[in-house]
Amino acid sequence: MDWRERPRCDETPEWAALTRLAAAQPDFDVRAAFARDPERFARLSQGAPELFADWSRSRIDAAAEAQLLALARACGLEAHRDALFAGEPVNTTEGRAALHPLLRAPAVGSAIAGWPTPALAPLHRAVLETLERMLAYAEAVRADPDMTDVVNIGIGGSDLGPRMAVQALAAWGAAGPRVHFVSNLDGHELAQTLAGLAPERTLFLVVSKTFTTLETLTNAHSARDWFLAQGGRDVARHFVGITTAVEAARAFGIETTFGFWDWVGGRYSVWSAVGLALAIAIGAEGFRAFLAGAHAMDAHFCTAPLEANLPARLGLLDLWNRDVLGFGSRCVAPYHAGLARLPAYLQQLEMESNGKRVDLRGRALTLPTSPVVWGEPGTNGQHAFFQLLHQGTDVIPVEFLAVARARHGLVGHHAGLVANALAQARALMVGQDDPGGHRHFPGNRPSSFLLLEDLTPRSLGALLALYEHRVFVSGSLWGIDSFDQWGVELGKALARDLTPRLLSGDVTGLDAATAGLIGRLAPFFEKK
Ligand SMILES: O=P(O)(O)OC[C@H]1O[C@H](O)[C@H](O)[C@@H](O)[C@@H]1O
């Protein structure tokens, strides 16, 4: 099937069959399903590179999964996946490829036979050249005793990936400089970060795909002003640019730049030079392992039959939860303090990719798309919002994530941590009877469980690639463009209009609410 001619999932007979299947068991109970089928855990779980996933506590059974796989085939998922890897312009609204897997394709020994294709060879060479240059630079920074602090200035995809990964892989970062992240336009963040730094010992990474993002340019200008005001010399040595708009970075005064390409979406860019902060934190070898883990997952996604293909099976589960069962949100609960920023990273990955209301042809969708993704690390979340997950009126699938091995030497923590993840998933499912009501847990609340043996650069790479492909799978069946983000533009344009109005107090033509608030705020912004 030509990937451009694929039907939308709700236009297929397989979709109708799927909804009939669901309608036939409106009161699906996971506990009863386990009792009926001793093989349920084995059927609804599987291994993949670097991790193991179990979704047997979801409100799904093997028959529904088989129908979902038939739906995926009817929707040309495999052709669409192959088009993604072939560098076809799958980002149709921008006329671009989405070739982030190429960023982790090894120089030799690709695990995907015949890929990268000869047609991709020039791009692959450019990727490898930049990678080598960036890793050599990262090693030089790590070896420079005078460079004690690195500040990554970027936002969205130019912040969330490296920020999350540096924190997750802190155990690998001991030998490197301290790495800080500044993203917010709120000057408090930059001011607080700069307060503890010395200009001659600080390296600023200005990361922006477009090099037009207001927050990043404002922070970069303020950082340079601070650097000069503090007596810093040699801006060229202390400011590095990572961007697809190398000329714009030069115009800012940055000499050292690392480029990437318009076919790398911001939220898919941690594998490119956008990951420089991570490479500085964990070193070249660690960064190569991070890429290798992702490549292993790419190979799995490309080659495993759909029945044993983890991104496909989880992406289809997501579609089932959202569109058949109607769950509007998913909680992500990583039981690892280092993964504290994983929910925020996944919010951009999933909600910016699949929070869409029209299909590739611009027609309004009839099915709901991306759920709201949110979460906090465990066990913290248990003491905050798990009350609602267990006893609230909404059913919210929870995705638990646990790591078998701990990297600290403290006794008495890790078994308790992992047991808590297991206990929460079990409590959600089994529930508890209480005729009095307040201590009643209805149970049958769905969850999935991802298990890593260890949190390493390689396993983190595989985990993130799993999520990327899973988001692609549901987006593919919805028939949307998972690689654009037009929905962020209107607010940016309006902010450009409102900034001078805060200073002038001019509310001409504004809606009454905005005008009313500007009336209250303008006195604080009057030009001095
Ligand atoms: O890297 P930049 O061009 O500065 O963009 C930073 C971020 O801002 C945009 O508005 C998009 O919402 C994000 O997808 C992007 O990652």
Ligand 1: which atom is nearest the Cα of residue 210? Answer: 3
The residue among 121, 118, 87 whose CA lies nearest residue 101 is 87
Per-residue model confidence (pLDDT) at position 431: 97
Record the tokens describing residue 304, joined without a space. 């495993």
Q: Using CA atoms in the order 12, 13, 14, 17, what is the torsion angle rounded to 10 degrees?
A: 140
> What is the CA(265)–ligand 1 centre distance, in A?
9
Q: Which residues lie across from 432 on neighbouring strands?
A: 441
Per-residue model confidence (pLDDT) at position 173: 80
**CB of 485 shorter than 6 A to ligand 1:** yes
> What is the CA(27)–ligand 1 centre distance, in A?
43
Residue 100: Cβ within 10 Å count: 22
Same fold, 3-90+293-431+441-486 and 101-282: yes
pLDDT tens across 62-72, in order? 999 999 999 99
Record the tokens describing residue 515, joined without a space. 């005008």
Helices 310-319, 457-478: crossing angle, 10 deg rounding: 50
Helices 276-303, 160-168: crossing angle, 10 deg rounding: 90
- Report, as ranges of residue numbers, the positions in the chain whose pLDDT lies below 70: 527-528
Place of tokens 């950082």: 223
Boundaries of every domain in the chain: 3-90+293-431+441-486, 101-282, 488-525
User: The domain at 101-282 falls in which architecture?
Assistant: 3-Layer(aba) Sandwich (3.40)
> What is the CA(485)–ligand 1 centre distance, in A?
9
- Ligand 1 atom 11 nearest Cα: 156
Place of tokens 């130019």: 158
How many C-alpha atoms does 409 have within 13 Å on its Cβ side?
0
**CB of 156 shorter than 6 A to ligand 1:** yes
What is the SS3 assignment for 151?
A: strand
Per-residue model confidence (pLDDT) at position 528: 54
- The answer to whether the beta carbons of residues 175 and 229 sit under 8 Å apart is no
Q: Which residues are catalytically annotated?
A: 352, 383, 492
Give the DSSP H or E segment for 240. Answer: strand 239-243
Residues 404, 406: Cα–Cα separation, whole Å: 7
The radius of gyration computed from the CA coordinates of the chain, to the nearest angstrom, equals 24
Residues 250, 227: Cα–Cα separation, whole Å: 18
**Mutation test of ligand 1: which of 96, 152, 153, 155 has the most ligand atoms closer than 8 Å to its C-beta?**
155
For 3-90+293-431+441-486, give the CATH class: alpha beta
* Contacts for 18 with CB less than 8 Å, ≥ 6 apart: 64, 67, 68, 71, 324
- The answer to whether the beta carbons of residues 436 and 483 sit under 8 Å apart is no
Ligand 1: which atom is nearest the Cα of residue 269? Answer: 16
**CB of 159 shorter than 6 A to ligand 1:** no
Ligand 1: which atom is nearest the Cα of residue 215? Answer: 4
**CB of 155 shorter than 6 A to ligand 1:** yes
- Cα→Cα distances 450→121, 334, 399, 421, Å: 35, 9, 7, 11
